[in-house]
Amino acid sequence: MIRRLCFAAAALALAVAGAALAADPEPAGEAPAGPPVEKPTPEAVRAFWSFYLNGKGQGVVLADAKMCLEVAKEGPSKFECVKEIPAEGVKPGTTVYVWQAYLVPQGDTVEDIAIQLRLGEQIRETKDLKLNGASFRSRNWTAFRIPRAGAWNVQIVRGSATLKSLELTSK
């Protein structure tokens, strides 16, 4: 009896998943929501799978980082940077977000990444990150309040290595 229930539940799940995959995600005649994306090569897909599934202990890959004024909390852009900092910078007192996207190998945990807010060569504030490989894309946004005018630099570091450096002006 239990086996039949499990089999029925599995069959139902496969039917629902198959219907969802077969469903047309956009009404006929409408353009895609965004620009077309580049299809990866089979080699790139295999390299990604290999690192994600077997790369535990080899560290993380910082795929993207940017300075933002707003990160979406819901909707189709949830957890994405939806408003980047303009080229002219921000006013003192503004809260900015350092948005990051990482690839962390499955089952791995990384605890030695820090985000440093710098004014010139002086580190003004540091925030530590803890990432895990629960999903193939780990996103984080770290908030800093820019206290005064100046040429600010944000560095994403792991140990003694700088993964990314971002510039910000406050006037």
Residue 163 covered by a domain: yes
Question: Is 94 part of a structural domain of the chain?
Answer: yes
The pLDDT value given to residue 34: 74
| DSSP code at position 85 | P
> The domain containing residue 98 runs over which residues?
59-170
The confidence score (pLDDT) of residue 35 equals 86
- Apex CA 80: angle with CA 75 and CA 82, to 5°? 85
What's the pTM value of the predicted model, to 2 decimals?
Answer: 0.76
The residues, ordered by sequence, that sit 6+ positions from 64 with a Cβ below 8 Å of its Cβ are 99, 100, 101
Query: Does residue 127 sit within a domain?
Result: yes
Q: What is the pLDDT along the chain (171 residues), one digit of tens a residue?
A: 333 333 333 333 333 333 333 333 444 445 456 789 999 999 999 999 999 999 999 999 999 999 999 999 999 999 999 999 999 999 999 999 999 999 999 999 999 999 999 999 999 999 999 999 998 899 999 999 999 999 999 999 999 999 999 999 999
Asked whether residue 110 is assigned to any structural domain, the reply reads yes
The answer to whether position 15 is within a domain reads no
Number of domain units in the chain: 1
In a domain, 109, yes or no: yes
Does residue 41 lie in a domain region?
Answer: no
Q: Could you give phi then psi for residue 103, rounded to 5 degrees?
A: -110, 115
Looking at residue 157, which CATH number applies to its domain?
A: 2.60.40.10
Specify if 92 maps to a domain.
Answer: yes
Amino acid at 105: P
